[in-house]
Amino acid sequence: MGTRSCQHICDESSPAIGEAGKTGEWRDSFPVIDQKKCIPARQNKPTCFLCWLYCPDGVISKTMPVGIDLEYC
């Protein structure tokens, strides 16, 4: 079997924090992470981070404990 090399050039986007503007000032409710139910917070290591799927890019911190930047979420 031979190997193939990919000759395609692909674009990759890296959105900046707050690219859509600050949204924290006009909200009527805000997200709260329950640290007792959060798997990464309980195990003190990055594991599931399902919250990344539902929040805008760059809003959920990758540090322990997990936090939310409320100016942009």
Cα→Cα distances 15→33, 47, 50, 69, Å? 23, 23, 19, 15
Domain count across the chain: 1
Residues 52-71: what's their mean pLDDT? 78
pTM of the model: 0.52
Assigned domain for 9 exists: no
Tell me the residue range of the domain where 51 lies. 18-73
Assigned domain for 26 exists: yes
The pLDDT value recorded for residue 53 is: 78
The pLDDT value recorded for residue 50 is: 79
Assigned domain for 6 exists: no
Assigned domain for 8 exists: no
pLDDT in tens, 8-55: 776 666 666 666 667 666 677 777 888 788 877 778 777 777 777 777
